[in-house]
Amino acid sequence: MSTGFDIRETSATAEADLILALWRQGLTHQGVPQAKLDWFYLGSPTGAPRVFLLQAQGATGPCGTATLAMRTMSAEGADCVCGVLIDFVLHADQRTLFPALALQRAVRDAALASHDVVFGFPNPKSLAVVKRAGYRHVVDLERRVRVVRSFSYLSRILPALIARPVAALADLGRLVLLRLAHRRRAAWQLAWSEAPDDRFNALWTRCRNNAALIGVRDRAFLEWRFCRSPMGRYRFVTLALDGALVAYAVCKDEGDGLAIVDLLADPRQAGALAALMAEVVFEADRLGRASVMAIYGGDPRWSRVLAQVGFVRRDAQPVYATGTHAEGAWTRADTWYLTAADEDV
């Protein structure tokens, strides 16, 4: 029976202009869609993403698109390639359940033919379609915030003349307590840099079992994901012991705060991640930032570390997934390790 729509696969190499035109129907890509296509679609280290086009029968051109990207991950210590759903958009006059569902199901079926696990980060408007297409909610990518300068918050409930000195005293007190609680060991060397080096490969080898399902975070991936990204400028902060890396975080300016978009720590180095997170807070204070945001979801061990440093959950992006094994490890939230580095990757 005819569905009234045809779906075909293409690539950014074959039909870049058409893909960019479809993106203009609702995807901004931070105002640099051509740069996003060049970097992500034409330069991905895991291979070119697969692009699917939806076209109404009898129409002269496509009315929607969705992409299946690839993310190399460690699944219980063994490398695998998972599918990632990204860049789903339809023409305004086709934003109804049936065309959206037809496209999502086609992408899902193609993905499961070659990947054991497929996941995505649907926005609220596409959530119903993703559920109907057979994906289930598996974990939340949490946005946690640690306030550094509290004046803007206190001024909502106190007169400015009172809020300013109270905020200054409270901020200083919280920083002193943070330094006492998570003092960096004298042997740990702290450094900020613009790019990763070979030490990141050794850290990844030691951390690939930090969770049952964790994306590869070696030097090659981090250089591509952050150093070559057109989506902003990133800085790396590291802790090392005798020259060997024990933890890192990747930071980006976000409004009047700093955002920690990726993080990793050797679980054998007790207190390393907490000390590193505290150092990011101290850097934010030095720069006059109002807050620090950390984006993480999955194994609760690392969420507890963020909570210990004062990061409070503000909201979360639900992650939906499906797999070839209905009750595989991918169905449990505590098996995942996700950060903003895994979005659109």
> 17 and 33: one domain?
yes
Which pLDDT score is estimated for 345? 54
For residue 192, the enclosing domain spans: 142-342
Boundary-marking domain end, from 77, 109, 134: 134
Boundary-marking domain end, from 92, 114, 134: 134
> 24 and 51: one domain?
yes
Statement: the pTM of the whole predicted model exceeds 0.75: yes
Confidence of residue 339 (pLDDT cuts 50, 70, 90): very high
Which pLDDT score is estimated for 323? 95
> 113 and 53: one domain?
yes
> 159 and 291: one domain?
yes
> 154 and 239: one domain?
yes
CA distance 115 to 76: 16
Which pLDDT score is estimated for 343? 93
Tens digits of per-residue pLDDT, 318-336? 999 999 988 888 999 999 9
Residue 244 exposure: Cα atoms within 13 Å on the Cβ side: 12
Task: Give the number of domains in the chain.
Answer: 2
Which pLDDT score is estimated for 315? 96
Boundary-marking domain end, from 82, 113, 134: 134
Nearest in space to 142 (alpha carbons), one of 273, 308, 311:
311
CATH number for position 205:
3.40.630.30
> 152 and 268: one domain?
yes
Contact yes or no for 258/199 (Cβ under 8 A) = no
Tens digits of per-residue pLDDT, 193-236? 999 999 999 999 999 987 789 999 999 999 999 999 999 999 99
> 257 and 168: one domain?
yes
CA distance 336 to 345: 15
> 146 and 210: one domain?
yes
> 58 and 194: one domain?
no
> 125 and 54: one domain?
yes
Give ∠ CA 231-281-171 in degrees, rounded to 5. Answer: 130
> 111 and 183: one domain?
no
> 213 and 319: one domain?
yes
* Gyration radius (Cα) of the chain, Å: 22
Nearest in space to 235 (alpha carbons), one of 226, 244, 243:
226
